[in-house]
Amino acid sequence: MNDPILLGDVWKKIRKSKGYTQEYVAEKLDLGTRYISDLERNKTIGSLSTLIKLCNLYEVTPTVVLQEYLNIKDDYKIDTDLIGFYSLNKNQKQIILKLIDFMQE
């Protein structure tokens, strides 16, 4: 695979699902706002250290961010549309999980 790895749209989608601004992310990670903007516009890919910092801040796994580039069976892929689930509070998450359990019965 020689295609460039473009994560900007994923980073932006996750950030917005959390309700964070680029300024907030930059401050929390001790990075420049311009750098966060460059990541989201695919002007830079960032380092492994930045990937880990962003995943920790956004409370997502690297698999969520990199799934498009991983050779994982579709059955095991994590749907990035579910990113918003992680921004819910504990009670909201429990309600959704109970609903899923009910639907599986």
Q: How crowded is the C-beta side of 48, counted as CA atoms within 13 Å?
A: 0
Average pLDDT, the chain: 86
Return d(Cα 35, Cα 78) in angstroms, integer. 27
CATH code for the structural domain at 8-104: 1.10.260.40
Q: How confident is the model at residue 43 (pLDDT cuts 50, 70, 90)?
A: very high
71-95 pLDDT, tens digit each = 766 555 555 556 677 677 888 888 9
Return d(Cα 74, Cα 30) in angstroms, integer. 36
Are the CB atoms for 40 and 8 separated by under 8 Å? yes
Return d(Cα 17, Cα 42) in angstroms, integer. 19
Smallest CA-to-CA distance from 10 within 52, 49, 55, 53 is with 55
**Cα of 101 vs its chain's centroid, Å:** 25
Q: How do the domains of the chain map onto residue ranges?
A: 8-104
Q: How confident is the model at residue 9 (pLDDT cuts 50, 70, 90)?
A: very high
12-37 pLDDT, tens digit each = 999 998 999 999 999 999 999 999 99
Decide: pTM greater than 0.85. no
Return d(Cα 19, Cα 4) in angstroms, integer. 28
